[in-house]
Amino acid sequence: MNTGQNVFGDDLQSCSDDPMTGIRRDSFCRCLDADPGRHEVCAVMTSEFLEFSRVRGNDLVTPRPELNFPGLEPGDRWCVCLPRWVEAFEADVAPPVVLDATNRAVLDTVSMETLERYAHDG
């Protein structure tokens, strides 16, 4: 199964299967034409980012079982929308990024240098 490439040009790695993430809920931050939100950044949730997203109208904390969404907590890995990550970056609350699980497609918007500054070290 071809899952795409990560920002290094290697095979895209799983972002999280607990909670199960990805637009297809298959653990991968895929680049898909059917995903206008561009859930391509594998990020490690922080309380600051979760609050920032909630204030912007996307509550990522409250479970939504009808959408197969468990609700997130700090420390969870999640495929976040590229535009929201950029907004958070501009507001100085961008969450850390798991580079080997972040889709190469984000490089059309965010530089590798910026991504490396936010690289998750765990």
CATH of the domain at 27: 3.30.56.110
- Residue in the block written with tokens 């909670």: 19
Structural domain total, the chain: 1
Pick the closest to residue 27 from 7, 10, 46, 4 (CA basis): 4
pLDDT in tens, 68-81: 788 999 999 999 99
pTM: 0.94
- Enclosing domain of residue 70: 1-122
Measured N-to-C along each axis, helices 82-90 and 47-55 cross at an angle, to the nearest 10 degrees, of 110
pLDDT in tens, 7-59: 999 999 999 999 999 999 999 999 999 899 999 999 999 999 999 999 999 99
Amino acid letter, 84: R
Please say if the pLDDT value at position 114 is more than 60: yes
Q: What is the mean pLDDT of residues 109-121?
A: 96
